[in-house]
Amino acid sequence: MKAAVVVFLGTNCEVETKRALEFCGFEAEYVDFNAKSLVEYDTVVLCGGFSYGDYIRAGRLAKFTSVIDALRKYIEQQRGVTVGICNGFQVLCETHILKGALVENDSSKFICKNVELELSYAGYKKNISLPIAHKEGKYICFEDVSEYEFLKYLKNPNGSMYDVAGLYDKTNRIMGLMPHPERAIFAKNFGYDGREVFKIIKEEIKRG
């Protein structure tokens, strides 16, 4: 399985995301923000960081890059699974690929800690623990998106509506999440629960 790790100016989680994907059995490579096509990849991962310095809004300026045009075609063709982690989730919301928007946390503070989450996938539920690190992570949507939620905060740290930590689009082929699964893969990290998220990505790819 081939994975693309999209790198914008200001992205800073690409190394650990690529390493985590490789550990979980993907053949991962970095893809520049100037990329014109993504069709050769089974999954495209937009990782964390501060793309374009978070100027205007977090994730806003990435919207105007050619890799996002390529991503729109990739989604239209239903080629593979798109994943946005942290800043990647913000990019997916700013581009309106996923519903809603992410605004400043209720505390107005940058929150960096491990949180307890409920993971739901295909009728299966599990409590997991993953690290979060964000200031603009409060999810807002004026439509009911609870049926698309796959990751839910058990103790909401930022004021997210419906306790959303991660959600799908209606096709289940686009996933956005604020916690960092790539930081919970190895013993030296925040536990091993990040592997569960990469397992879901693999299952979604196999499902076709």
Partner 1 sequence: MERYVAKVTVTLKHEVKDNRALVLDKMLKNLKMEDSPNFLTGRFYSFCVSAQNIDNAHKKVNQICAEVLSNPVVEKYEINSLEALK
Binding site for partner 1 (CB under 8 A): 56-57, 60, 64, 93-94, 96, 100-101, 103-108, 140-142, 159
Question: In this structure, which amino acid lies at residue 137?
Answer: G
Minimum distance, C-beta of residue 139 to partner 1, in the bound complex (Å): 11
Q: Give the separation between CA 86 and CA 181, rounded to whole angstroms.
A: 10
CB-CB contact of 93 with 153 (8 Å): no
Q: Which is nearer to partner 1, 37 or 107 (CB)?
A: 107
Whether 13 sits among the annotated catalytic residues: the reply is: no
Catalytic: which of 13, 47, 86, 141? 86
Catalytic: which of 14, 93, 180, 204? 180
Q: Which is nearer to partner 1, 14 or 94 (CB)?
A: 94
- How many other C-beta atoms can be found within 10 angstroms of the C-beta atom of residue 129? 16
Q: Which is nearer to partner 1, 2 or 99 (CB)?
A: 99
25-38 in b/e form (b: 16+ CB < 10 A) is: ebebeebebebeeb
The half-sphere exposure of 128 on its side-chain side, counting CA atoms within 13 A, is 27
Site of tokens 């295909």: 122
Whether 93 sits among the annotated catalytic residues: the reply is: no
Q: Which is nearer to partner 1, 9 or 140 (CB)?
A: 140
Q: Give the separation between CA 89 and CA 181, rounded to whole angstroms.
A: 13
Minimum distance, C-beta of residue 106 to partner 1, in the bound complex (Å): 6
Minimum distance, C-beta of residue 108 to partner 1, in the bound complex (Å): 5
Taking each helix axis from N to C end, the angle separating 14-23 and 194-207, rounded to the nearest 10 degrees, works out to 70
Minimum distance, C-beta of residue 135 to partner 1, in the bound complex (Å): 11
Q: Which is nearer to partner 1, 94 or 204 (CB)?
A: 94
Whether 141 sits among the annotated catalytic residues: the reply is: no
159 phi/psi in degrees, rounded to 5 = 90, 10
CB-CB contact of 94 with 46 (8 Å): no
Q: Which residues are catalytic?
A: 86, 180, 182
